[in-house]
Amino acid sequence: MNYSAAYDVALEKFRKATLEEISEYSGYPIDGNRIKIIFLGQRFDVEYPSGQFYAEATLNEEISVPTQILILHYLVNRSPAIQTGQLISYKELPGGSIYIQPFTNRAINPLVKTFGSQRSDLIKVAGTLGGEEVSLGDAAVVLNVFPKVPITLVVWEADDEFPASGNILFDNSAGTILPTEDYAVLASQVVFTLRKLASK
């Protein structure tokens, strides 16, 4: 997929915002002309107004373009939304029912494949990213991927009647913060990161 057009649009919106707006709505701190970001265990700065990403010296991997787009989208959100605590599935997001199959293939199936029979590993690796165990399914964790965007991952282990299954849930406020398509990318990145940590 060519992300260049989406990146250009996101960058333009970022440059039109003010640092004060970005700080107020995103919940991220500002240091000079840089926004201090923590995303899935990675720490880096986003320079304003250039939109340049600067990773800390210990980060061995480049920050992917899809990740940069996600973060820029979040930084320019103007939602005053407060978390409701009410969980919804991807198909309950605006237009989510149309994309539920790709979402399932990209995020839920890999979650179940890795942690459906290793629920303790889900709790363990999510904990390294600040995730907290919650009482859902056979195992579940909630990760605050962005300050205003918690994601809940749930797995049910297989039994005599049913195979292992899982789900990824969002706060009811999610649809006012990011486009629905972004949550598919975000959830797949969360699961990819957890799987990578579990393989170490």
Burial class (CB in 10 A: 0-12, 13-18, 19+), 30: middle
- Residue spans of beta strands (DSSP E) within the chain: 30-31, 34-39, 42-47, 53-55, 87-89, 132-133, 139-146, 149-156, 165-171
pTM of the model: 0.93
Tell me the pLDDT of the chain (200 aa) as tens digits: 678 899 999 999 999 999 999 999 999 999 999 999 999 999 999 999 999 999 876 555 678 999 999 999 999 999 888 899 999 999 999 999 999 999 999 999 999 999 999 999 999 999 999 999 999 999 999 999 999 999 999 999 998 889 999 999 999 999 999 999 999 999 999 999 999 999 98
**Is-contact 8 73, C-beta < 8 A?**
no
Residue 55, pLDDT score: 87
Determine the longest span between alpha carbons in the chain, in angstroms.
58
- What CATH code would you report for 87-198? 3.30.310
CA distances from 96 to 46, 143, 181, 185 (A): 30, 21, 8, 13
pLDDT of residue 59: 57
What single letter denotes the amino acid at residue 106? R
- Residues spanned by CATH 3.30.310 within the chain? 87-198
Tokens 């789900």 appear where?
A: 167
State how far the Cα of 196 lies from the Cα of 200, in Å rounded to an integer. 7
> In the prediction, which pLDDT does 140 show?
98
**Quick one: pLDDT at residue 58?**
56
- Predicted local distance difference test score (pLDDT) of residue 5: 93
| Residue for token pair 């260049």 | 4
Q: According to the model, what pLDDT value does residue 57 have?
A: 64
pLDDT at 82: 87
